[in-house]
Homo-oligomer: A and B are copies of this chain.
Amino acid sequence: MKLDEVDRKIVSQLQIDGRTTLETLGKITGYTNMGVRKRVNNLLESESIRISALMNLKRFNFFLAVVLIETDGPETLQRLLKRFENCPRVVYIFTTIGGFNMIALVVAEDKETLESISMEKCSLRSEKGIRRSEFYPVMDVNYSPFMPIRRYLAHKDLSVPPCRVNCKPCARYKFERCVGCPATKYYKGHL
């Protein structure tokens, strides 16, 4: 898949404002609104692009961290991927080659909760079969504070978190040092 100059202009504009009208996109490209419509529809239907809401981390005072993980083999890696597939705190999970074979970006509503997902049973690092891991709290997201936080996973209606680690028995949750999982009923935060 390759984009020509017209697609490029369309995508650039849609990155700045994903709700730009077809009329405006037409003017930018020198096409009619119907011409540009077919381009945009193609891009969307072929899944070349997606137009999506990003959240401003600064506005919401969200905290990010990068987690580096080395597993003892591919089974552990797969287990981790499966387990955190629907975790609303996971922004990205990359599998990599090199010293670490998994790198994740995770989000929390406050520092205390970030600490929970650094150490507790609900943490990526808690999985059996992890040889080594490092945890880097993010101080600044430079250039642009907008991130694709998976809000639709924070539906607050489950009784067991997607990762299957119940918050209730956790001391941090009990003593109000962690807001719990945003996908469950007993969530206490504002994600």
Q: Which A residues fall within an 8 A CB radius of B?
A: 1-3, 8, 11-12, 14-19, 46-56, 59-61, 64, 66, 68, 81, 85, 90, 92-100, 103, 134-144, 146, 148, 150-152, 154-155, 190
Contact = CB atoms under 8 A, between A and B. Distances in A.
Q: Is the interface of A mostly helix, strand, loop or mixed?
A: mixed
Given A15-B150, A98-B136, A50 B46 contact: no
A110 to B, nearest CB: 13
B141 A94 contact: yes
Given A2-B60, A48-B55, 18 more contacts: A1-B60, A1-B61, A3-B190, A8-B154, A12-B155, A14-B53, A15-B150, A17-B52, A18-B18, A47-B56, A48-B56, A48-B60, A49-B56, A50-B56, A52-B53, A52-B54, A64-B94, A99-B134
Given A53-B49, A146-B52, A137 B66 contact: no
B134 A98 contact: yes
5 contacts: A49-B146, A50-B56, A51-B53, A95-B139, A96-B136
